[in-house]
Structures are given as structure tokens and as C-alpha cells.
Structure 1
Amino acid sequence: MLNDNQSINFNAQNQEIDLKEVLRPLWSRRWQIVFFTLLVSLIVAFYVSLLKPSFKATAILQIGSNKPSNTLSINDAFNESSASKEQVKTQYELLKSRKFAERVIVSLNLVEHQEFNSGKYNDKISFFANIGKRSIKPTVSSLISTFEGRLTISPIASTELVKISFVAHSPKLAQEVANQIGHTYLQYQDEIHSASKESTSQWLVDQLEELEKKLETSEQALQEYREAEGIVDILGIAGLVSSELTELTSSAIRAEKIKDDLEVTYQSMQNRRKNTAQLLELQEISQQSDLVQLRRADEKAARKIFELSKRYGPKHPKHIAVQAELESLQKGIVELVDEIVISIEKDYLNSSEKVKATKNRLAIAKVDYLRLSRLQNKFSQLQREVDTNKELYNNYLVRLKETDAMGNYKANFYVRFIDKAIIPLNRFAPKKALIVILSFMLSFAVIAIIIIMRELSMDTLNSRRKLDSFTEAPVLAILPKFQAPNAEKKGDPYYTDNRFTEAVRTLRTSLLFNGESKPAKIIAITSSVPSEGKSTVALHLARSFSEMEKVLLIEADMRHPTVAKNMNLSPYRPGLSNLLAKTHQINECIIRDKNLKLDILTSGISPANPLVFLSMKRFNMLIKVFGNFYDRIIIETPPVNAVSDAAIISKLVETVLYVVHGEKTKREQITTGLRMLKQVNAPIAGIIINHSQSIDSDKYQNKYYNERANNIVKLPVRKQG
């Protein structure tokens, strides 16, 4: 297993490879990128050279909030405190308004100025100089949008300052407009203040007249009400009645309580009126001091009789005397109880009368108090109206006097120039160098993004990532695209560059050492669609094998043959079709390369139905015959997706090589072609990526070497011929 450091290094390497794959299309199309970028930059440079220079003048204006030293308010109605942030921001937006733009245009007569009647291009080229010129005289309203586009109002953060900038082709005009906007704003503030002062004074006079009438009316209504009700001191009388009402309420509560207490006793006595013993049980009677003394004397006399009855008889004088005293005391108790009962009855009746009298007086007092309350409420209402009208009248009168006295005092804002604009010496725009640099960078970025996105969106095998996800067949080799031959080597059919030659040799090595059995002797080369380079691959693979062995290249594509054309041979030269038709001999059809041990059998004259020729037993027999004389036979076949010739030939060979154009062949086309070959059980060895520009082939050069490749492999002995 890999340790952590090895894993990190492996991931970093993969990331680097991915970045290379993304940037490789840029390098392969570098001249296109350079041409497009330079072309755009030259066009932009030419365009900006035609533009008139622009100059920017800036004036600084102070718009501050001003709190007056003296109070100029009528309470809250006329409170002119410091201007809020929203009010100050409103002034900034006012400077940008169409109203101000119109006033400045009229003040400077910009309708007649050449600045707004000529185009933005200079006079270097007459055609461009006439572009943008107005054919008719502009109006004020038509110039406002152009004027606002050149004007910039920008407050300076955390200050009361605001920058007024104007851009124009004329430095003098830029200065005049920037300063005129400030002057126009000052005039506008003066106009607003004067108009506000006049309107405020007239409004105050009208309000004073109306308030004076309301005050007189309210005072007259108050006096008439006082005389009609005979009111002298309504507050004092109401206070006395209120005090009396409070006192009567307390008395009524106390009398009611006394009555309730006596009523309980009275009812008890009525129930026990004829029974003195029961009456004595009542607490209100038994606790009377006189009755308590009589009862004590009675008890004493009863004890004395009891004592005498033990010593003397009932007729004894002492016994008779004490008995008479006891009877006298008992008679006195009965009489005293009667008197107490009568007294309590009188008290109860008196308390009932007192409660009634108090309630009557309380009801009368309530009526008087309610009447006085209504009088007081009405009086207070009239009095408040008089006081309010009087206060408003006095305040408006003070405000009118203060307005006349303040003169031209400006309450909310003070506005002044801090720096007036001067004639700019340096151009503001266009920044030619910056524009050209930005256009260069932008055009480079745009074309680079387009190329990268196009490469990533192509459904081809043009990247290592796509190859890794391709599982339909193994990748045998990646053949780079080589440049077209120059004039000296244009007629050389074997011309390639070193990279392509080494890639073909790597493919040859892969075919020799890839597999447990001996290498395939008869090899077919096909592709998905035409123009994928299978003829070139077949020719150069045959040439590579011929460096070691005796090789025969058979051009079996009799529909669109290209080998004879690439070797500058006559299209009517006899070849495979002639051999199959038995019109020519083998030695008449085969081309022998004197420098290499390579024989080439071209397709010959194209027959009407090539599939019939390839299906002949004679074709199979020819291949077997050729196998006795050659170490390696390479057969180029038509594209699989176009015709079924390759499927027929695949039955006669030991392995099939599938050529794919790395930049053009769609993945779906590859999958379809491989599926067709697999349906006939073709011995597919793998695919060959041809014309590759975006894949680094280093990773795949040794991909198909395995441990068996380290063993000693005996190459087949080449037959001499």
C-alpha cells in the first residue's frame, strides 16, 4: 500500500497532468490565439486613435446643514433644526436633475456649441469625422441626456463636500460647465428662499386675521355663558359642594351602620317581649350597669335567704325581711328591663329617621354637584378655546415679526464654493494604452476560454481523462499529429516527424510483446469513418515492421483507395482486385520497395461490388499463400461504420487495430464500430489514437508492458526473400 506522502505526491502529479491537458489545446492553437488577439488589439488601437481626447474639470461645492442660533420655531409647527442626511442627499440628487441640466444648457447656450454638434471622432479620416455630426440643430431637451452622461456628481464620504465633474472634448467648456452648475445651484437656493419668505409672510398675515376673528368669537361666547348662568367663581362653589357631598356620604354610611346594629337588637327584643328572663339573655340589656347592680343585689339576697332558711323558719322576722327585700329587687329588675327595652326601641326609631334624612340631603347634594359639574365643563371648554386661540394668535404674531426681522437668513443649508474648476491640461480619456492592453488581455481570455470549452465539450478521445473513462477497448498507442511535408519532401510517402515515428515504433513494440502467445502475423487496420488516418497508420506501421521483418501491406479498401495516390502511382495500376479477378499475376500487382523489405499490394481498379470480391475464397487463399512468404501481413480495410468490408476481412486475420481520430471521431461512432466488430467475434487488439494534439503520450508508451515483457522473447526468424 502507498503511504501518505506517496498518495499526496500521486494526487499532486494527477492535478498537474490535468492542468497540462487543459492548457495543451492553447499551445497547439497558439498561432490562432496570437492572430486573433493581435487582430482585436489592432482594431481597438485603430478605433481609439480616431477618438477625440476628452478633458475632465472638477469643482468642489460645500452643502452643509445649518442650525440657527436663535429659535425660529412656533413650537413644533415651525421647527427648522439642522437638515437631516436625507435632505442633504436630496440636494445631491437635485444637482443631477434634468431641471438643473436644462438651466445650465440654456445659461451657456450649449445648443450652439460645436461640442454638441460634432461627432466623437477626429478629422484624421473624413469618413469617421462625419459620423455623429448632427444634420439639424439640436434642442435643449435632446441635449439633456448627453449632458447628464458627461456629468458626475459624487459626494465625498464623511464630509459636506461634493465633487462636480464634467467631461468634454474642449478643456474650456469642461471648466465652464462644472463652475456653472455650482452657480446655478446657488441661484436656485436664493430663489427658493426668497419665494419661501414671501409665501410664508403672506400666509402668516392671512392666518393672523383668521385667528383674530376666532379669538373674538370664543371670548364673546365665554362671557355670554358666564352671564347666563350667573357664574362668579365656579371653581370655589364646586369645591364647597364637593366637600359637603363627601361629608354627607360619610354621615350616611355611619348612620346606616348604627341603624343596622340596632335593628338586630330590636327584632330580638320583639320576639322576647313578654319573657323577662329571655330579655336578660340579650347582651345589649344584660350589660347595662344599673341592671348589673340590681342583679348582684338580687343574688346576694337569694344567698342570704338560703342561709337564713337553715337557721330560722319561714315566719322568722329576719327571714320575712330578707324575703321582702328580694321581691323588691326582682320587681325593680323587671321594671328596669322594661325601661331599657323602651330606650332601645326609641334609639332604633331615631336612627331610622336619621338615615332617611341623611339620604335626602345626600341626594340633594348630588344633584347640585352634577349641575355644577356640567357648568364647570362647559365653562372650561369655552375657557380652553379662548386660551388656545390666544396662544396661537400670539405665536403667529411673533413668527411674522421674526420673519420680517430675519431678512435673507437661510435656515436649512449653507452652500459655497470650496474649489472652482480650472482648465484641465491633461486628457482624461481615452486611455489608449490601457484600452489596448485590456482589449489584448480580454481577447486572449475569450479565445482561450472558447478553445478550452470547445475541447472539453467535444465528445472525442482528445484528453487523458476521457481515455481513462473509455472501457470499450484498450488503448494501444497515441500517435501525434505531424506537420505536412515541405516542398522538398512532399513526394515522400514515408515522411513523418520524429515524434510520430517513435510513436509508431512504440505501437510495433506493443504488438510484439503484448500477449501470452506469439505476436499476430496477419493484422487488419480499420476505423469508424473515413479520413481518420488508417492508411497512413497502416503504411508507417508496415514500414516500421519492415525494419525487422519482411512485410506485405495490402490495401483492401477498394472503394476509396489512397495508398496508390499517396505513393504517386497510377490509379489504374493492377492490384488486389485484379488478382481476385485473375486478370494479372502476383508479380504484376505487388510493388517492391528497394530500400526496405516492404511489399505493397494496392487495391487495383475499383470493382462495382467490392464486398463480393472480398467474400471470395480466393481472397482467403491469397492471404494464406502470402503468409508463407512474409513475416507480417498488414491489411488496410474500409471504415466499419460505412460498409461491412472490415467485418468480412476480420474473419481472416489474427488481430484488428482500430484507428481513431483523436480530435474528430465521436465516441458514439467508436462505440458503434467496436460493437459491430464484436458481433462478428473480430479479434480486436485495441484502438490507436491518431492525430492527437491534446494528450501527452508519455503515459501510454509503456502502458502495455507487463512482467512478461522482461523475459527474453524470441522474435520469429525472418525469411529471406
Structure 2
Amino acid sequence: MKILEDKNFISINEEVALKEILTPLWTRRWKILCFTLVVTFLAAIYLTLLRPSYSATAILQIGTNKPANTLSINDAFNESNATKEQIQTQFELLRSRKFAERVIFQLNLIHHEEFISGKYNDKLAILAQVGQGQSNPSVSDVVSQFQKKLTIVPIAGTELVKISYVSFSAQLSQSIANQVGITYLQYQDEIHSAAKESTSQWLVDQLEELGKKLQISELLLQTYREAEGIVDIHGVVGLVGSQLTELTSETLKAAKLADDLSISYQDIQKHAGDIEKLSDLHEISRHATLMQLRREEEKIERKMFELSQRYGPKHPKKIAVNAEFISLQKRITQQVYDIVISIEKEYFSAVERVNGTKQRLEIAKKDYLRLSRLQNKFSQLTREVDTNKELYNNYLVRLKEADAMGNYNSNFYVRFIDKATIPKSPIAPNKILIIAFTFVLSIALISLTIIMRELLMDTLNSRRKLDNFNEAQILAVLPKIKASSRERKEDTYSSDNRFTEAIRTLRTALLFNSEKTAPKIIAITSSVPNEGKSTVALHLARSFSEMEKVLLIEADMRHPTIAKNMNLNEHRPGLSNLLAKTHQINECIIRDKNVKLDILTSGITPANPLAFLSMKRFNMLIKVFGNFYDRIIIETPPVHAVSDAVIISKLVDSVIYIVHGNKTKREQISSGLRMLKQVNAPIEGVVINHSENIDTDKYHNKYYNDRSNIIKLAARKRG
């Protein structure tokens, strides 16, 4: 019984895996079909433009005077019989470029239509013109085309060789296949007549000429070495190159230091004479001596405050403390000016150091370029000597080999076995096979691409990946939606019933969690931008507002989007203005016109949003809002971008982590959750957004598409 259960479990897993592979193909079936049909249609059009090709074959025999089983190594020297290697050489000779030129000139193929017109027919004049190219092709082009269409294939185990030629003309393919064999017979006759010339004498002449070139190149190399005083050019170039690298690094460091000091110098010049602004500069305020004086100043101020509570202004102790305070103020002022002078001196010193290193660098560059030119010329002369020496040695070896084989004579017999005939039917293109192959290959290629892309994506885009995700609880899976232009313009609810019901499922999961009470203050964050946290926060707030009074706070002051999505003025007062005490609460909070929802947008973007969110006033505002609202939802920045979400997570009851189902990497999700867990953030769970793999798609579409029986109730009055 247990074995049967294991088998059933394995079959279920296999079915899920197969579904995961086939689902992307089914969802993109029309794209796959369109791509396949377009590629196949293009292939069919291309085939209709091609001219048919014909192939003719002639059979030639290239043999020796003796049967193959009586040949030995000594036969090649003593009895003038050809070896198998020499016969193979004849096959390669038939394929050579020089031999092709002879056949072309004998048949006068330079101006033949075969090599002027292209592979396209006259159905499409543009492609035909592209295929034709020049009206009079060069010999090199004709030879290249000729060699591509010529095939020389020895028949294994025999002395026969097949000579095949493919042409757009059946008669031409026959003529060329036969002419190749005839030309080879003529070539063998020329070989026998040219064998009388002395190869050794030619090699001696070549050796004499190469010897002179070798002497001249060696003399030029030595003359150049002595004229330039070159001993070890490679070592010198290496030393100069190392020096150039060090100077470049030095220059960059000096320039960076000068740039850093330039900013401080400009700030000092800008606030010259203003001791308060100078002391607020980062480089001055962080100075150890000044910080010590500031601490002493704070001690004296506290002492003055304590004495003022006990004594009058003319008491000796208070007068003494006042005098000490004035003296300390003077010391602070003097210390600030001393630091300013020190920074100015350091800046001018850095500028001089930059100029000095740049001058040294220019000198080193000139030396390096001059030595590089010497090295290039020296290498060129050295290569010339080495090349001439190698050629001389090779010709000397060949001369000795020619002397040792002076009595060697090869003896072949060549004859036609079958001459080529005119082919009756074309061999290419096989249109049906090519179209069928293109169709199958297109489907396989696009399907494999889609499957590999889906499987290699390290995201939570499938049910299997969701089941294997253990870092946090999966609260809900939200489908991918695309709001219509009317919805974006009028700021209405999404018409996608699947998304609305998924948001309500998320609301239910938060309200009826059996392990703890429903959270009142909820923070919504994500790993990276553009995961839909603003949309989820807005729709979740609207969903809660159907039952209770809700406040939505946009705490992402760096890149606010809620005001823009609701067609509000992006510069209207909001959270930042409330924290800065520039506006009142009633000026910052707005009411959603659709539901019972109050919204506090981000407001004007401050220079340092993190400092605003770290204020005690922000925590106090949340507590105050908690007395007036049943639910508070805070939209925060992504955890990987900034640390705002980490700060806010300490002030809320629950954190919901939004994940883009098709884009967010699993490593990004895990690292973001680790950052929140390190500060003991109350992580409620993960919400998968923009998911395309909802198991209840068909059910929702069928269940909610019929709106004829829906009664629209009047909007609830705001409390």
C-alpha cells in the first residue's frame, strides 16, 4: 500500500512539472504559431526565387602500373610506381585553384551566364540584380564559384574518382564534369614533358638569392643596433612602462585629492568671514580640537544655566563663568580660522603636486613613445632576419632531398570510365523537405526559447517555486492587470475582478489570522522599485475602507507615485510638510472620492527623507492617527534602495513584502527579508504581484463576468 502511495506521489510531481513546462507554451500559443507561420512563409517565398540546380558526374580512373597488393615503399624509388599518398595528391590537384583556372579558360566560362546571373530567378528583379553583382565578374570570383560547385570524391577501395559539378544549366554541368577529366589528362602529359628540367639547378639559384637577402637583412639589423645604441630594448621599454604606470597612478591620486580639497576650498571662500557658516562645514565641524572645544562650550553653558538659577547677574561666580565663556568663544573662533588656513594650505599644496606629477608624466610618455618606435623598428628588422634565415634553411633541405631523389619518376595511368550525361531532373532545392524542416525547426526553436526562459528565471512565477519558498508566509497571489485609460484618468477601481478578489483575500488573511490579532498599523514594502507596492497599498486601503475608517500614508518621499496615480498635484503638501510643521493636518490629508479613505501623500521631497522619518514627531503622528483611524497603511521605499523601510518597520504592527512574480529574483527577496529580520521587524508575509499563473483564472472569469444581477449600492457616508 505504501509503495502505491509513493508511486502516486511521484506521478503527481511529474504532472506538475509537465504543466509548468507546457503552461508557458499554451499561454503563448498564438505567438508561437504566428512566428512559425511567418518564418515558414518567408522560407517558401525564398524558395520560389531560387533557380533549380542540376548535377552531372563523370568517373575517372587514376592508377599505378602494378596492382595495389604488390606495392612497397621501395617501389616508389626503385620501380617508379606511385604510392597511395601520391594518388591522393592527384585528387587534391583536381580540387586546386590552379587546375580550376585551366578548365575555366578552356571552356571560356569568364563571360558565361552561369557566373554572371545569380542564384535567383526573374520573379523578383531586385534580388536577381543583387545576385548578379557585377556584369563582368573577375577571374577570382569565377574560380571561387567554380570550386564551390565542383566535387571530387574518391570511391573507397578502388582507383576510381567521381567528378561532379552542380550548375543551373543541365548542359553546362555535363560539359564541365567531362572537361575536368580531359584537362587532367592533358596536365599529366605536361608533367611528363616538364620532368626533364633540372629541379636542383632552380633550387641552387634560389639559395644563392636567399643568401644575399639574408646577409643584407643581418647587416641592416646590426647597423641599426649600433646607430641607436640598443643593448636590451625590451628591458628598457618595460622599465619605462612601469614608471609610466606609477606616474599615472600618482597623478590620479593627486588629482582626486585636489578635487576633494577644491570643494572645501570653494565652501571656505564662499563663507569667508562668516564664522558660524564656516564652523558648520563638514571638514571644520569634524575637527577633533574644535569638537573638544564645542563640548567644553556645552559644559560652560550648562554651568551658566545652573548658576543663573541660583545667583544674580552680578554675582562673582556668574561673572567668572561669563568671562570663561567669552574666552572659550574666542578660542573657538581662532580655532576655526586656524583650520581654514590649514585647509587652504593643503589645497594649494595639492594643486602644486598635481602640476608636478603631470609634467613628469608627460616626459615619461615622450620617452615611452620614442622607445616604442625604436622597439618596433628593431622587431621589424629582427623578423626580416628570422624569415630569411628560415627560408634559406628550408630551401637547403629541399635541395638535399631533390639530390637524394634525383632518379625518382612517378608513373600514373589515367582514363575515363564513364563520361557525364545530361541530367534529367534537378537535385535542389527540395522545397517540400525544406518547408517542412523550417516549420518544425521554427516551432522547436521558439518553444525551447520560451521553456528555457521560464525555467531559468529565478523568480516566484510558478506554483512549484511558491511551494518551495520557506523564507516567509505567502499571503496572497495577485494577478497581472492592465488598467484601462478611463480607469487611469478617472482613478476608479480596477475592472479586473480577479485582482479585486485577490486583494480581498489578502484583507481576509490579515484580519482572520488565527495566531495573532489583526494588525492595525501595516507597512508595505518591496525589494526594488516598480514591483507594484504603491498599487497594492492603495487597493488594500480601499478594500479595508469598505468596512472601517482607513488612513493611507505615503512614506516613500524619494519617488512618490500615489498622488500621480490619483491625478493629484505632485507638489501638494503632505507627510514631509506635516513633519516640517509648515502645514496643518487638515491641509495635508485628502479624502478619496470613491470610498471612505483618507490619504496622506508624501508632500514636497526633502533633501534627507531618512532624517524626517527618524524624527520622534513621525512616531508621535502615527500614534495620534491611531486614535482616529481603525487601520493605518504605510507605503515605504524598497528595502534594497534605502533604509527607510527598516526604520518604519520598528513603528508598525505588521510588514507586508510585495514581490513581482516575473521580475524579482529570489536572492533579492531573501536578502530583503533578512534585512527586516535583523531588526526584528514584524513580517506578516509575502504578496506575489503581477503573477500570470493564477490557478483560478477561468473560475473568476466565469463567475464574475456576468454583471447583470449586480445591484449598485449608494456610496457610504464618511464618518
TM-score, normalization: structure 1? 0.55
Q: Tell me the SS of whatever aligns to 1:59.
A: strand
Residue identity matched to 2:640: N
Aligned to 1:560: 559
| Identity value in percent | 60
CA distance in 2, matches of 1:548, 1:134: 81
CA distance in 2, matches of 1:162, 1:186: 14
CA distance in 2, matches of 1:577, 1:137: 77
CA distance in 2, matches of 1:666, 1:416: 70
Q: CA deviation at 1:64?
A: 10
Answer whether contact 2:52 2:429 (CA < 8 A) is retained. Answer: yes
Answer whether contact 1:66 1:83 (CA < 8 A) is retained. Answer: yes
Q: CA deviation at 1:35?
A: 6.8
CA distance in 2, matches of 1:151, 1:186: 18
32-41 vs 656-665, greater mean Cα deviation: 32-41
CA distance in 2, matches of 1:607, 1:186: 93
Q: CA deviation at 1:129?
A: 1.0
Residue identity matched to 2:417: R
CA distance in 2, matches of 1:4, 1:513: 39
RMSD between aligned alpha carbons? 4.9
Distance change >3 Å, CA 158–CA 568, structure 1 → 2: same
Distance change >3 Å, CA 16–CA 486, structure 1 → 2: farther
Aligned to 2:56: 58
Aligned to 1:133: 133
Q: CA deviation at 1:591?
A: 0.8
Residue identity matched to 1:494: Y
Q: CA deviation at 1:420?
A: 4.0
Mark the runs of 5 or more structure 1 residues left unpaired by the alignment: 200-409, 702-717
CA distance in 1, matches of 2:41, 2:471: 49
Alignment of 1:90-489 (within 5 A): 96=95, 101-122=100-121, 124-126=124-126, 129-130=129-130, 133-134=133-134, 138-139=138-139, 143-154=142-153, 164-181=163-180, 415-417=416-418, 420-426=420-426, 428-431=427-430, 434-435=433-434, 438-439=437-438, 441-442=440-441, 445-463=444-462, 467=466, 470-487=469-486
Distance change >3 Å, CA 89–CA 421, structure 1 → 2: farther
Distance change >3 Å, CA 488–CA 592, structure 1 → 2: closer
Alignment of 1:659-674 (within 5 A): 659-674=658-673
CA distance in 1, matches of 2:477, 2:487: 28
Aligned to 2:583: 583
Q: CA deviation at 1:655?
A: 0.8
CA distance in 1, matches of 2:125, 2:539: 58
Q: Tell me the SS of whatever aligns to 1:646.
A: helix
Aligned to 2:521: 522
Q: CA deviation at 1:455?
A: 4.6
Distance change >3 Å, CA 101–CA 511, structure 1 → 2: same
Mark the runs of 5 or more structure 2 residues left unpaired by the alignment: 197-410, 700-715
Distance change >3 Å, CA 510–CA 63, structure 1 → 2: farther
Answer whether contact 1:656 1:686 (CA < 8 A) is retained. Answer: yes
CA distance in 2, matches of 1:133, 1:612: 71
Distance change >3 Å, CA 149–CA 77, structure 1 → 2: closer
CA distance in 2, matches of 1:650, 1:68: 97
Aligned to 1:689: 688
Distance change >3 Å, CA 639–CA 62, structure 1 → 2: closer
Deviations 1:602-642 (A, max 9, x none): 33444554445434445444434444454433221222233
Residue identity matched to 1:474: Q
Distance change >3 Å, CA 192–CA 687, structure 1 → 2: same
Deviations 1:524-548 (A, max 9, x none): 1011222111011112222333444
Aligned to 1:242: none
Deviations 1:219-238 (A, max 9, x none): xxxxxxxxxxxxxxxxxxxx
Answer whether contact 1:66 1:414 (CA < 8 A) is retained. Answer: no
Aligned to 2:570: 571
CA distance in 2, matches of 1:544, 1:451: 37
Answer whether contact 1:660 1:687 (CA < 8 A) is retained. Answer: yes
CA distance in 2, matches of 1:500, 1:514: 21
CA distance in 2, matches of 1:456, 1:92: 52
Distance change >3 Å, CA 422–CA 636, structure 1 → 2: same
Distance change >3 Å, CA 41–CA 522, structure 1 → 2: same
Q: Tell me the SS of whatever aligns to 1:542.
A: helix
Answer whether contact 1:614 1:645 (CA < 8 A) is retained. Answer: yes
Aligned to 1:505: 504
Q: CA deviation at 1:696?
A: 5.3
Deviations 1:652-681 (A, max 9, x none): 211100112233334443344323322322
Residue identity matched to 1:57: S
Residue identity matched to 2:509: S
Distance change >3 Å, CA 163–CA 603, structure 1 → 2: same
560-569 vs 509-518, greater mean Cα deviation: 509-518
Q: Tell me the SS of whatever aligns to 2:650.
A: coil
Distance change >3 Å, CA 20–CA 492, structure 1 → 2: farther
Answer whether contact 2:589 2:598 (CA < 8 A) is retained. Answer: no
Residue identity matched to 2:16: I
Q: Tell me the SS of whatever aligns to 2:57.
A: strand
Answer whether contact 2:56 2:166 (CA < 8 A) is retained. Answer: no
CA distance in 2, matches of 1:420, 1:127: 32
Q: Tell me the SS of whatever aligns to 1:4.
A: helix
CA distance in 2, matches of 1:411, 1:576: 101
Aligned to 2:227: none
Distance change >3 Å, CA 675–CA 99, structure 1 → 2: closer
Deviations 1:353-410 (A, max 9, x none): xxxxxxxxxxxxxxxxxxxxxxxxxxxxxxxxxxxxxxxxxxxxxxxxxxxxxxxxx9
User: Quick check: which has more Rg, 1 or 2?
Assistant: 1
Distance change >3 Å, CA 575–CA 697, structure 1 → 2: farther
Q: Tell me the SS of whatever aligns to 1:111.
A: coil
Answer whether contact 1:550 1:719 (CA < 8 A) is retained. Answer: no
Residue identity matched to 2:584: H
1:8 aligns with 2:29: no
CA distance in 2, matches of 1:29, 1:119: 40
Alignment of 1:532-681 (within 5 A): 532-577=531-576, 579-580=578-579, 581=581, 583-586=583-586, 589-594=589-594, 596-681=595-680
Q: Tell me the SS of whatever aligns to 1:112.
A: coil
Residue identity matched to 1:591: R
Distance change >3 Å, CA 504–CA 425, structure 1 → 2: same
CA distance in 2, matches of 1:503, 1:681: 28
CA distance in 2, matches of 1:662, 1:540: 18
Aligned to 2:383: none
Q: CA deviation at 1:9?
A: 2.8
Q: Tell me the SS of whatever aligns to 1:529.
A: coil
Distance change >3 Å, CA 63–CA 487, structure 1 → 2: farther
CA distance in 2, matches of 1:719, 1:632: 18
Q: CA deviation at 1:589?
A: 1.9
Aligned length: 481
CA distance in 1, matches of 2:93, 2:560: 82
Aligned to 1:260: none
CA distance in 1, matches of 2:554, 2:694: 31
Answer whether contact 1:591 1:599 (CA < 8 A) is retained. Answer: yes
Residue identity matched to 2:56: T
Answer whether contact 2:478 2:689 (CA < 8 A) is retained. Answer: yes
Distance change >3 Å, CA 143–CA 551, structure 1 → 2: same
